A and B are shown apart, each in its own frame.
Chain A
Amino acid sequence: GAGVSQSPSNKVTEKGKDVELRCDPISGHTALYWYRQRLGQGLEFLIYFQGNSAPDKSGLPSDRFSAERTGESVSTLTIQRTQQEDSAVYLCASSQRGTGLSPLHFGNGTRLTVT
């Protein structure tokens, strides 16, 4: 079956512009996560959805970042007024259950470059 799909795969934007990143999780997966990986660093947790509610937004780095999810389907991560430090690969993952016992299935990521 289809895996986690992310779009676009690459995005170059000018500093100060807004961007929207999209994630289509695996069908039937109730949990959805956003991570980012900046150059030379590990995966940084951003936000977690269980269904369409977000019980944990603790990883969002600033109020310029927001995310929403429609039901148990598509999620969008929005970054407003992008800054150069937002440049990273943004990874989406889904899992059947929102517990550490359920491995995450990752998409290929969106590489965001802010110039």
Chain B
Amino acid sequence: DIQMTQSPSFVSASVGDRVTITCRASQDISTWLAWYQQKPGKAPNLLIYAASTLQSGVPSRFSGSGSGTDFTLTISSLQPEDFATYYCQQANFFPPWAFGQGTKVEVK
């Protein structure tokens, strides 16, 4: 099975900061990668798919990049509503549709 590893597990940041989260796949998954945001008590919400395509309605301060095994989610200027946990997920080799372990973005 493919393993997805995110780093860091926690990020302490302030409003206006640039935040970068990394996701590494244990095998080449091309660009079959999605990013989700989850706020406490809420369901996950799709942010980015195909590694770099922004889902409709997602603010442009979010961006994704990468292919193969290494991927990045960047928030260019952190906003108060962005404090949440972020997950990557691969969809190239399944089952399982593996998620990363999550990265929590906290207030510094």
Task: Say whether A associates with B.
Answer: no
Residues of chain A having any CB pair with chain B under 8 Å:
none
Residues of chain B having any CB pair with chain A under 8 Å:
none
